[in-house]
Structure 1
Amino acid sequence: MTSKLYHLFQTEDFLADDDFLRFVKYSYPDDVIFWSNWTEKSPENIQAYRNAVIQLKLILSDSEIVVSPSLRENLLADINASINQFERKRKRKRIRTIWLSGAASIILVATCLSWYFLSTVVVRADYAEDLLVHLPDGSEVRMNKNSTLSYARAFNWKARREVSLDGEAYFKVKHLNLTPDQIKRGELFVAVTNGVAVQVLGTEFNLKDRHHKTNVTLIKGKIQVQSKKTGRQYMLRPGELIDFDQEGVTVQKTQTAEAQTAWLSGKLIVSQTKVSDILQEFEDLYGYTVIVDNPALLQKKIDGAISIRSEESLLFTLKNILDVDIKKEGKTIYLKNRN
């Protein structure tokens, strides 16, 4: 920070500076010492600095910030001083122009801030498409096909880092907690689905939510998973996973953590898995409707690893395992027994 020419900054420069933003938002001890020393030098642009602090605190605060009478008087004095630069006969016109433009600026700024703090960023991975999303805090989210991720546009300014997921994604959450026994504003990360809320500080985990069923698999770190339906909380350790049904109740799980994250390498690992479940996964990932002419095939169980890198590879495997013919008509696929 010492290399920056803060004594030349205007209000907008302070508001665009990451170190200044961190100081106002978190008040880390090192930042407090630096800015205290800087203000004690009474730089000429100290007023620009104070205005920037007020604006940021107004954004971050849930309550109204009262402007002191002395600050109000100083602002009026600045306006009067600028008026003296113009000809006397145009004084009234200039005063009107200044106030009108000021009011317009306030409305514009308020509108922009309202949009920024109330709007949401939505990222969608379409059928047959994987996406890597970099969140504003540096966390990474690898989205599986047919999944949607959403988060507040003002992500870094919220009391907690929160995202919502519909589908499946692998999270690498950046650790912001500098003090192990203290969690400050903005450090907690929460991933929310229709069924659960996953709370972490910094970790890696897989989260899947489809057809009113949720699976959470922890790879690294530590997480707390809460069922939205029952309110019960569960702590997971690395390698552990938990499933919830549509009523929010935990269900028996036979698959391993490796099976839950196999999609990252383009595979589907199955163990005594029904063909009906495999076809459901195919429909979720590629957007097809699959019709089987022999219902008994749906109950057949399969073991092994199946490639899901493309619809062709998955269909080729099923064609040979089930000994069926495949016919495509638009977005419908028919599996028919061979005569």
Structure 2
Amino acid sequence: MTEHDYTTFTISDFLEDPDFLRYVKYQFPEDRLFWENWQAAQPENMAAFSAAELQLQLLLSTKPFKTSPGLEANLLATIHQSIAKGNKKLKVSRQKYFWAGGIAASLFVALFISWFFNSTVSIHTAFGERKKIALPDGSEVILNANSTLSYPRAYAWKEKRAVKLDGEAYFKVKHLNQDADQVKPGELFRAQTSTIEVQVLGTTFNIRERRGMAHVALVEGSVQVKSVKSGQHYQMKPGNVVQVNSRNGLLTVEKQGSLQQSAWKDGRLIVNQTTVNEILRNFEDVYGYQVILDDPALGQKKIDGSISIKSEEGLLFTLSQILNVNIQKQGKVIYLKNR
């Protein structure tokens, strides 16, 4: 159970919390015990909890549907016609309010269900920020800086598990079925960017798409990568790195390097004959600066080893020592000048 201060949650907060969703949908004993104890403390926002629980129960018992723009007008017209047939004014008045109230409540439920099933949750990280995200199915995502992860608000009730990524993220997907020969559509997990689509049952992998190139690095398990533009696909093995060009959709495979690709989540940058220009581009993507070298030839210098990227100051200091340069900041521009 993720630790949250549920006493401050609104209805929307409860509806987006994976632990609350699991409790309402599955009623696992440990979840029931937690929420029963929480309610016993009589928090001030019990009304928000009860409203969110009721709305989810309605969702679980009702198939999603969309309301047409003229539905409310037609329903009200029908009400008025039936009211006109009444004989007693008091009875007519009571019927009017009763049916109007019922229709209004039905419309509210219909609109809420339509909104819930057709809206998305988007999580964004600023420059220099990382977030750990728990998806409703128990999968985990570490979202790198300057990135956005989106998924349906009704993720737990969709026929397939699917997310969209802009930037970089490390995925640890939960297996819902260990038998690869008997796979149902809802048991597959799909992660998509503008360039690639990754399909898995449950595994650990890293996706990065920046500057016109997409990379998928498989740490464990099995992943199928497909180029959206060219249709090329490849079944990856642990350690593989697949690169796809966003412009032409060309897919290429490197047999090793997945740990190097995903080291950022541990605050490290592992470089192997990596040019300074590549390192600086990574720095710009993560921290939002423009870096200018006083001597452009330094950009072609190749570096091996492990560099800490837990802070922009630490990375810049390391580079200043390796390249023998001074650092000068002017707003969002950093100059590396020869000593």
TM-score, length-scaled by structure 1:
0.73
Aligned to 1:306: 307
- Is residue 271 of structure 1 aligned with residue 275 of structure 2? no
Structure 2: tracts of 5 or more residues without a match: 1-19, 28-55, 67-87
What are the superposed Cα offsets for residues 200-219 of structure 1, whole Å, 9 maximum, x if unpaired? 11111111111121111111
CA distance in 2, matches of 1:107, 1:248: 46
CA distance in 1, matches of 2:146, 2:23: 38
- Is residue 330 of structure 1 aligned with residue 331 of structure 2? yes
Verify the 8 A CA contact 1:166 1:193 in the aligned structure 2.
Answer: yes
Aligned to 2:31: none
Question: Over alpha carbons, which structure has the higher Rg?
Answer: 1
CA distance in 2, matches of 1:169, 1:113: 30
CA distance in 2, matches of 1:178, 1:300: 47
CA distance in 2, matches of 1:98, 1:21: 32
Verify the 8 A CA contact 1:207 1:214 in the aligned structure 2.
Answer: yes
Aligned to 1:248: 249
Could you tell me which amino acid in structure 2 is paired with residue 101 of structure 1? G
Counting aligned pairs with the same residue, the percent is: 50
Structure 2 counterparts to residues 62-211 of structure 1, below 5 A: 90-177=90-177, 179-211=179-211
Verify the 8 A CA contact 1:60 1:157 in the aligned structure 2.
Answer: no
CA distance in 2, matches of 1:53, 1:138: 20
TM superposition shift of 1:180: 4.1
Q: Using a 3 Å threshold, how does the CA distance of structure 1 residues 319 and 160 change in structure 2: closer, same or farther?
A: same
TM-score, length-scaled by structure 2:
0.73
Could you tell me which amino acid in structure 2 is paired with residue 310 of structure 1? S
Aligned partner (choices 42, 49, 59) of residue 63 of structure 2: 59
Could you tell me which amino acid in structure 2 is paired with residue 172 of structure 1? K
Could you tell me which amino acid in structure 2 is paired with residue 325 of structure 1? N
Verify the 8 A CA contact 1:160 1:188 in the aligned structure 2.
Answer: yes
TM superposition shift of 1:173: 0.8
What are the superposed Cα offsets for residues 185-237 of structure 1, whole Å, 9 maximum, x if unpaired? 42211000111000111111111111121111111211111110111111012
CA distance in 1, matches of 2:240, 2:230: 20
CA distance in 2, matches of 1:153, 1:54: 15
Could you tell me which amino acid in structure 1 is paired with residue 335 of structure 2? Y
CA distance in 2, matches of 1:154, 1:57: 14
Provide the secondary structure at the position in 2 that maps to 1:207.
strand
Aligned to 2:228: 228
Verify the 8 A CA contact 1:276 1:298 in the aligned structure 2.
Answer: yes
TM superposition shift of 1:166: 0.9
Q: Using a 3 Å threshold, how does the CA distance of structure 1 residues 232 and 337 change in structure 2: closer, same or farther?
A: same
CA distance in 1, matches of 2:312, 2:21: 47
Provide the secondary structure at the position in 2 that maps to 1:186.
helix
Work out the number of aligned pairs and report it.
270
CA distance in 2, matches of 1:146, 1:234: 28
Verify the 8 A CA contact 1:156 1:186 in the aligned structure 2.
Answer: no
